[in-house]
């Protein structure tokens, strides 16, 4: 096969993959009824357990990385910008970089590496053990019980953890810089709050909602692609992580391009 034939084949495979993936999560979300499923005991238990694992258990790691990012990145940014620009420009740049970029992306990468891989392995092992077919025979929808709760929890976790990360990063960076470089932390935080207009909040929410949707759907999609062989579980887990990161950065680039 020549080079152009290989390129064409890869393009067609990628296009078919995107179509299959898009149909998977749109179909799963379209058939899910909130009023019927949230108060279902089995679905609620699955939703709560997944939320604890995806969101609550990740707080320690997010906190550590947020503190390190605040000291190592935000403080350096504050020092450099104090030397070359005014305070109003500094707070605008902080809001742009930390809130709009750093918080969502780092949180997304953590969730891909930690939760996306775990969900793919969990669903893959569930299929290998043959536990999904009996549920379908009992009339339990796979989307209701396995897919949508995980996607919803991933969206909630992405939004809340990204917000938490951004707050901790900014606070640590500002207070550390105020102590080292001797300026008013209260004044900088006040200016930062005044800089946070509705556009930044909307972009932050939309970006994190989309990131959570991509990560959760990617994990479930590849987990359910496992058939009967245990060797397929690590293969699909690896694909979920790699493609989750690819889609994450593509989505971030898309938002950055259209919010300049």
Taking residues 51-66, report their average pLDDT.
88
User: Which two tokens mark 104?
Assistant: 């969502």
Residue 218 pLDDT greater than 90, yes or no: yes
Q: Which residue has the higher pLDDT, 181 or 1?
A: 181
The burial class, CB within 10 Å (0-12 / 13-18 / 19+), for 98 is buried
Q: 1 pLDDT exceeds 60?
A: no
Q: Quick one: how many helices (H) and strands (E) in the chain?
A: 14, 0
Q: In this predicted structure, what is the pLDDT of residue 88?
A: 56
CA 60 to chain centre: 16
Give residues with Cβ within 8 angstroms of 44, minimum separation 6: 38
Average of per-residue pLDDT across 20-46: 70
Distances from the Cα of 209 to the Cα of 102, 104, 240, angstroms: 15, 10, 19
């Amino acid at each position: 096969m020549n080079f152009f034939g290989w390129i064409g084949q890869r393009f067609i495979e990628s296009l078919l993959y995107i179509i299959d993936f898009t149909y998977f999560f749109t179909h799963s979300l379209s058939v899910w009824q909130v009023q019927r499923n949230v108060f279902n005991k089995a679905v609620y238990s699955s939703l709560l357990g997944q939320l604890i694992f995806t969101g609550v258990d990740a707080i320690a790691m997010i906190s550590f990385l947020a503190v390190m990012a605040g000291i190592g990145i935000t403080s350096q940014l504050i020092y450099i910008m104090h030397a070359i620009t005014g305070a109003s420009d500094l707070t605008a740049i902080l809001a742009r970089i930390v809130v709009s970029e750093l918080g969502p992306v780092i949180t997304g990468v953590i969730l891909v590496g930690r939760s996306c891989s775990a969900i793919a392995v969990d669903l893959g092992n569930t299929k290998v053990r043959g536990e999904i077919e009996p549920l379908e025979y009992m009339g339990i929808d796979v989307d209701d019980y396995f897919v949508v709760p995980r996607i919803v929890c991933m969206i909630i976790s992405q939004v809340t953890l990204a917000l938490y990360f951004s707050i901790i990063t900014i606070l640590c960076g500002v207070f550390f810089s105020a102590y080292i470089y001797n300026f008013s932390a209260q004044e900088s935080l006040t200016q930062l709050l005044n800089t946070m207009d509705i556009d930044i909040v909307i972009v932050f929410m939309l970006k994190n909602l989309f990131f959570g949707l991509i990560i959760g759907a990617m994990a479930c999609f590849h987990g359910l692609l496992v058939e009967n062989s245990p060797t397929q579980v690590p293969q699909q887990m690896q694909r979920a992580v790699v493609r989750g990161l690819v889609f994450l950065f593509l989505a971030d680039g898309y938002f950055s391009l259209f919010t300049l």
